[in-house]
Every structure is written in C-alpha cells, then in structure tokens.
Chains A and B, each alone.
Chain A
C-alpha cells in the first residue's frame, strides 16, 4: 500500500471549453476517466508507436489519432483509452513526461472521447498551440 503518488495522477487545470455539460459534470468524468489526452507528439508518430509505448502501462482499449481538421492528417496529439482507471493512472505515473519518437510527451486526463474531438481547433486546422508557437519545431510541420 502506498500513501504517496496522488501528485502523479492529479487532474490538470485544462478544461475543454467545448465540453457539453456542466463544469461539475466535467470534473466528475475527469475523476473517473480511463481516457488520456496525449500531447506534443510529432506529426509523424504512428498509432503503432503509441500502442507499443502505452501498452506498457496496461491493456489499451483504443487509440484515436488527433487530425488536422482540413487535411485529415495527424497533427500532434491523440487520445488513448484504457479499459481500467488503474491502468490509466499507471500511464500518468510512468509514461507522462517520457519520450516517444524522441519527443517528451505529456499525458492528461480527458473527460472522454466524443466524435469531433479528434480534430484540431486551430484556425488553420491543426492545434491551437501551433498557431502561437514561436520556435521552429521540425516534428510539427
């Protein structure tokens, strides 16, 4: 039994502005979610690579690649859904902040995949963060 370790799995501050439901509902879903948002992927990272790494935390139920809204090509994020909360927590503990495809990736709790959320919300079709990024990032072109 371990008392320590709530920090690694705590819910971040991001809240989906387009979430359909109350803030309370969103909090509730986040607290019991088995889905994780994965950010800072290279545009070239494949589902296979994601599966290989994320399977090390537990059985992966499905992976939904994040796509450019217009081009329908990967734009640097994805959702990974596990079968159990415990497996998702282990992912937050041990995979968040390590490298995939040579990039430090970030995982965060997600309220659950809903059709449409796989698309980037930036003006040009990719992710919003790429609109504001100042440095050149060769993996995200």
Chain B
C-alpha cells in the first residue's frame, strides 16, 4: 500500500482530518487509515476520547463542559473498555504520556482510573517503565525527559509513591560521583531531575523533606564544580548587559531555589487533579520500578549544553502585563511549554501557531512576548537551530495572521531591540537575523520604518549595524529585484543599496581593445551563438598557445579565463541559461582544467564576470563543484585568496564556504553509509553461504573502503586548509596590532576591530558547526598550528 510509511506513525489527529481540494470536494482519504478502514465506531470513540481528553472540542462532548468533568467521564468510559481492550488502551496512554502540554491531564486520568482499577494501572506502570528503559537504552533523550516528568507528576494523583520517584532521582544524581562520566551525561540526568521538581516538589518536600534537601545538596555541589567552558562558544550576546546569558543548568537551579523560597508552590502548572483530592484518598499507591541509567558508553551522543537566550524583561512589556523574572519558576514553566509545543508541532506550522497561542497561562503573563523570545532563542541557538530557519520564519507569519493586531507590534519591537544590540551579537546570530528579516519583509511588501535606522549609514562598512543593513538589502533583492529595493529605501540611505546585479564582461568593454584575449573571446561568442559543437570551440581556443616550461606543456591560464568568462557571459540571461551553457561545453572544462591553478582561474573568472551578482556566484560555484569542474579544496583556497580579500567579511562568501564544506560532508556520509551497508550484506553472506543473491566480494568491499578513505583524506585536507588559513589571517592581524603596524595599502578594513570580530567569529562558528568532523583531528591541529604564544 502506497502510504505505509505514513501509517506507521499515524495517530488519531491525522486520520480524522478531512481533505478538501480546490474544487470543494470532501475526499475522505480512506487509504490513509492504517487499519484499512475496518474500525468500528466504539474503537474510534475510545481513541477520540483518549487523544482529545481535556480539550473540550466538538468531537469530544463527553461529560460536560469543564476539563475536570471531561476527564472524569473519559475515565469512566475507559473503565468500561478495559476488559476488551486493555493492551490498546495502554499503548495509547503510553503515546499520550509524551504529549508535553497535556501532562497533568493524563496524570489526572491515570489517577482516576487508579481509584477504580488499580490492577490495570499497575500493568500500565509496568509498561511505562519498560518504555522508559527502552528510550534510555536507545538514547532517545527527549522522550526520557518527558516520561521522567510524567512519572514525577503521578505522585500527585496517588498513583506512584514519592519514595520510588526519589529513588530514581537519587540514582540519577549518583552519577555525579562517577569519574568516567563526561559532563554532558551527568548534565542530562541532573536536568531531568531539576526540570521535574516543579511538578512534585511540594509533595516531595512534605513527605521526604530531608531526602529532598540531600538530593539538592548533591546537585548544588555538582553545579558549583562543573566546567563552564562551553559558555563562550554558545552565547549569542557577548555581553551580559542588559540580560545575563546563563548556562541552562545554572538558570534552572536558581529557578528551583526560588521555588523553594516560595514553599515549593507555583501558579503556572494547571493541575486538574486538585479537584479530585477527595477521590484519591483511598487510592492504592504503587511503587514505580527503579530505573537505573544505563552504563556509560562513548558511542552515545548526549544533548549539548545550552545558554539561555534572553531579550525581554519586564520593562519591555506593556503595563497590563507582568513578565516573570529570569529566575522565577513561572518563566521556566512557560518557556518549557512553548519549546515543547514547537518541538512537537514543528511539522505543521499552522497547528503550531494555534497551539502556541492557546497555551494556558496565568497571572497576566505576556504570551506574545514570550513566544517571540522563544522563537528567536531557537533561531539563534548555537551551533545551529533545532529546526529549519524557514520554519521559524513561516511560524512567525502564521502567528501574525492569527493575531494581526498584536503579534506584528511585538515582532516590530523585537526587531528594533535586536538591531539596537547588534554590536554585541555573534556573527552567526546577525546572519540569521538578517536572513529572517528579509524573508519576513518579503511577505509584507518590505514595509518598514527604514529612516529610524538612518544613523547607521554613516558608520563604517564593517560596523555590525551597517553591515546588517547592507546584507539584509542584498537578501531582499534576491527575493525580489534591484529596482524594488531602490524604491523603498529612502534616498539618504541609498549608500546601503546593493549593486545592480549585471554581468561584467571585460572583452566587450572599453578596455577590450587592449586585452590579449579579446580576439579569441569575440570568436567564442560567435561560436556560442551559432550553437557550435565543443570540438569547434576547442579549436578556436588553440589560438591562445599553451605555455612551454622546462619541456612540459602547461595549459595557458588565459585560455581558461577567456573561455570561462565568455561562456558565463553568453549564459548570463538566467540560471537555466548558465547551467545549459556549462552543461553543453562541460567536456572543454574537463580538458582545460587539469590543475588546481586552472581551477582557481575558473573561479576568479566567474567572480570577475559576476562580482555584482552574489547569488549567481553562489549558485555557479555549487554547480562547478557538482559537475566536478572544481574541487572543494580549490574553493576553500579561493575564498581565502587575494581576489576575495576585500569582500572577505561579506555574508555570501561564507554561504559559499559553508555550502562547500557541507557538500563534502554529505559525500563522506553517503559513502560511509554505502560502505556500512555493503559491510552488513557481506557479513550476512558470510554467515549464509547458500545465499548467492546478495554476495558481496572482498574486493568490492575493499574498493569501497579505499574510496571512502580517500574521500575522508580529502575532507581532512579541506578542514586543514581552512584552519591553516584562518590561523594565518588572524595571526597576521594580531601581530600587526601588537606591533602597531598600519596596513595602509589594504584600506580601512584590515585595521578595524570590527573586521577581527567578523573573521574570528566565523572561525569560531566553523569549528563549532563542524565540531564532530573536526574532533578526530584535534591533536593534529594542535600540534601543527598552535605554538606556545597563540591563544
């Protein structure tokens, strides 16, 4: 059946959506149903009620109009179904236990089920424990995190004993005493504990005060002694003014401490079970099975540490709202819920936006501000955002659609605020902000109060604000066209405008008569127009003789340059034209470009023709790599070459470098995947000598491995080229700074601390983004590049 892969993870929400097409037909897609449509009404009812419990939607009109009565009626209904469908119910509940924004609804439901059928709940808890253990063994940390919290909440409905939960917490906290455990591992478990305490802290305190204190003391001394080296790399803002950027564990620690100061009482979590306190009085309390964290293994990738991104405080919001302080547990709880919603619904931006705005909040919390802060926190997260940047952009558009009178205002305020503080923002953040802003404006006809920012026009070209504006306008142009930008930028700010992206072909310019290559260039243009075959073009190129050097013939770089510039000029009308031209005469490239030197000539010629059209340079470099006319290493060297020196801090140059590295990484990953696949098959055919079908020979395997290894050498080489050149260029600057040498010939750019900011942060970003690939070579890098007096 063609939709099998969608059916595996199908849950209730997706099955019930009705598909409406352009012609207004309601086409119930029976083929989307995993069971082939054989479900009866009672089964569907059960699923509806379970997945939608607490939602009070039209499909769920069971038991009245309050959340509590809805849960109670659902519980009663489920109790009638247990005999027939126990396994199904447990499976559905296990799925529901991981719906983060409905945690207390489901714990209430379990609590009520427990009052009438404790045996069933015992079975459920066993399945829950098994499920948790599975997730732990599979290193599915976000699932572990949600489930630990869910189980923590079950103490509040008299289903699970506080002692058994404490035991689990203590086992997790014990890891801090293990020597071999890396910090990320202990960090994760400590975070699980601390982030569950807001739910059951009060009860733990009441019933096991001293044990809770001891647990917190253990955590406290761990936090005091753990390393914070990661902070510098992960902070988006480089200063702590106006908001300190805190390590995520430190932040939640202070939030828990504040909660303690308030007697473990908080007002953000909605607890439907409070109404049922009397019902739970005689409940059977179960001991949750002890869960022990699996042994340490260096193959497991734990979640990276985080720095909490802050941009708003209580002074930024209108008077009728109260934004909870950084260390209040309410701030944490709302943020946590917002992150959860995003991470659950990110594949459906409309549903995500709706759910975000439906978040149940108390105490006049300014939800729009918190939503915006969280979205930017995710967008700017280092090393990279959890989801695609375009997701966040489209999510903000949906939010503006749903709240056209409020959200755009908050977003505008946020934009101004971010721009204000741009001087202290990391390069990666500035780049993402710029890319987002252009995208956002393109959905609103580029309407913005540009004049507010006119002061930045007079700042130096390398100043963050000036560069941000110019780069944003380039992006806006890429999404529209040059004249459009000219129209909405006020005249006094026109120095910010990008160049008109026209080609620059020297062989028909005024200086053409003086150029050596002009005759051949003109001939080539004629040939291209006549759609000449490659052989004829190659013949025409012979008029530029090759060079003789020490008895060896070397291809004349001029030949390569004339051919490349002319071909690209000929195909300048659109991307498709350029691609077609490259494809048609690809073999000539293959014949001419036989050395790294020639590859660099190609890239330089490309840049010469298209220096005003950054987007096409990016696209064509990519094409040249794909068609193997140039190699990744050449592109890297070209990026650091003299031709690019004056544009070195332009964003498009880094787009090219990142895309080149990414291409190399993907190739290696793909080949590694293929090799592993072959290896697996080979092992299997070894074990089963009769299966001739998938026989992989030793030779095939060896060949694949050697291809893989040679590709990995290329990847290593690429990284080393980049790192070496970064060191060179940065040391050069620092040396000149130290010796107070003025770099007069190269212009203002190279003297400025701003230039250093862009370049050093690019280096940092490069290392951070590719830390996994670079890590194996760290020792080599250190010995080769670091001398005693570099930092």
Q: Which of A20-64 contact B (CB under 8 A)?
A: 27-28, 31, 46-49, 51-53, 56-57, 62-63
Task: Report the interface size for chain B: residues with CB under 8 A from the other chain.
Answer: 51
- Which B residue sits closest to A91, measured CB to CB? B390
Which residues of the partner chain A approach B479 to less than 8 Å between Cβ atoms? 49, 52-53, 100-101
Of A6, A47, A56, A99, which one neighbours B574 at CB under 8 angstroms?
A47
A101 to B10, CA, bound (A): 36
Interface residues as binary, B346-361 with A (CB distance below 8 Å gives 1, 0 otherwise) = 1111110000000000
Cβ A2 vs Cβ B445 within 8 A: no
Cβ A2 vs Cβ B390 within 8 A: no
Task: In the complex, identify which listed stretch (B21-29, B123-131, B161-169) lies at the interface while the others stay far away.
Answer: B21-29
Task: In the complex, identify which listed stretch (B1-9, B522-530, B707-715, B741-749) lies at the interface while the others stay far away.
Answer: B1-9
Task: In the complex, identify which listed stretch (B11-19, B208-216, B505-513) lies at the interface while the others stay far away.
Answer: B11-19
Interface residues as binary, A1-13 with B (CB distance below 8 Å gives 1, 0 otherwise) = 1111111111011
A8 to B480, CA, bound (A): 26
Give the shortest distance, in Å, between B434 (CB) and chain A (any CB).
13
Q: Which of A59-79 contact B (CB under 8 A)?
A: 62-63, 65
Which residues of the partner chain A approach B345 to less than 8 Å between Cβ atoms? 2, 4-5
Cβ A10 vs Cβ B19 within 8 A: yes
A4 to B27, CA, bound (A): 20
Q: Which of B1-58 contact A (CB under 8 A)?
A: 2-3, 6, 9-11, 13-14, 17, 19, 21-23, 25, 27, 29, 32
Cβ A14 vs Cβ B390 within 8 A: no
Cβ B19 vs Cβ A2 within 8 A: no
Cβ A52 vs Cβ B388 within 8 A: no
Given A4-B344, A56-B389, decide whether A93 and B2 contact each other with a Cβ distance below 8 A: no
A49 to B438, CA, bound (A): 13
Interface status of A111 (Cβ within 8 A of chain B): no
A100 to B481, CA, bound (A): 12
Interface status of B419 (Cβ within 8 A of chain A): no
Interface residues of chain B, those whose CB is within 8 Å of chain A, are: 2-3, 6, 9-11, 13-14, 17, 19, 21-23, 25, 27, 29, 32, 95, 140, 143, 343-351, 388-391, 393-394, 397, 439, 442-443, 445, 478-481, 574-576, 579, 615-616, 619
Cβ A13 vs Cβ B19 within 8 A: yes
Cβ B346 vs Cβ A5 within 8 A: yes
Which residues of the partner chain B approach A7 to less than 8 Å between Cβ atoms? 14, 17, 348, 351
Cβ B443 vs Cβ A12 within 8 A: no
Main secondary structure of the interface of B (DSSP, over half): helix
Given A5-B347, A13-B19, A98-B443, decide whether A47 and B390 contact each other with a Cβ distance below 8 A: no
Cβ B347 vs Cβ A4 within 8 A: yes
Cβ B22 vs Cβ A2 within 8 A: no
Which residues of the partner chain B approach A98 to less than 8 Å between Cβ atoms? 394, 397, 443
A56 to B575, CA, bound (A): 17
| Best-buried of A14, A46, A48, A65 by chain B (most CB within 10 Å) | A48
Cβ A2 vs Cβ B346 within 8 A: yes
Cβ A95 vs Cβ B390 within 8 A: yes
Given A7-B17, A95-B394, decide whether A13 and B27 contact each other with a Cβ distance below 8 A: yes
- Which B residue sits closest to A61, measured CB to CB? B626
Which residues of the partner chain A approach B574 to less than 8 Å between Cβ atoms? 46-48
Of B343, B349, B443, B478, which one neighbours A49 at CB under 8 angstroms?
B478
Give the shortest distance, in Å, between A52 (CB) and chain B (any CB).
4
Contacts A/B (CB < 8 Å), 21 sampled: A2-B345, A3-B344, A4-B13, A8-B347, A13-B21, A13-B23, A14-B22, A31-B2, A49-B479, A51-B575, A56-B389, A56-B390, A56-B439, A57-B390, A62-B579, A65-B576, A90-B390, A98-B397, A98-B443, A99-B442, A101-B480
Which residues of the partner chain A approach B29 to less than 8 Å between Cβ atoms? 10
Which residues of the partner chain A approach B579 to less than 8 Å between Cβ atoms? 62
Question: Top 8 nearest A-B pairs by Cβ distance?
Answer: A5-B347, A13-B21, A56-B390, A94-B394, A52-B478, A6-B14, A5-B348, A99-B443
Interface status of A137 (Cβ within 8 A of chain B): no
Cβ A13 vs Cβ B25 within 8 A: yes
A47 to B572, CA, bound (A): 13
Interface residues as binary, A72-112 with B (CB distance below 8 Å gives 1, 0 otherwise) = 00000000000000000010011100111110000000000
Which residues of the partner chain A approach B95 to less than 8 Å between Cβ atoms? 3
Of B22, B140, B390, which one neighbours A12 at CB under 8 angstroms?
B22
Which residues of the partner chain A approach B388 to less than 8 Å between Cβ atoms? 56-57, 90, 94
Given A7-B14, A8-B350, A90-B390, 18 more A-B residue pairs with CB atoms under 8 Å apart are: A3-B95, A7-B348, A10-B29, A12-B21, A13-B21, A13-B25, A27-B2, A31-B3, A49-B480, A49-B481, A51-B575, A51-B615, A56-B388, A90-B391, A93-B347, A94-B393, A95-B390, A98-B397
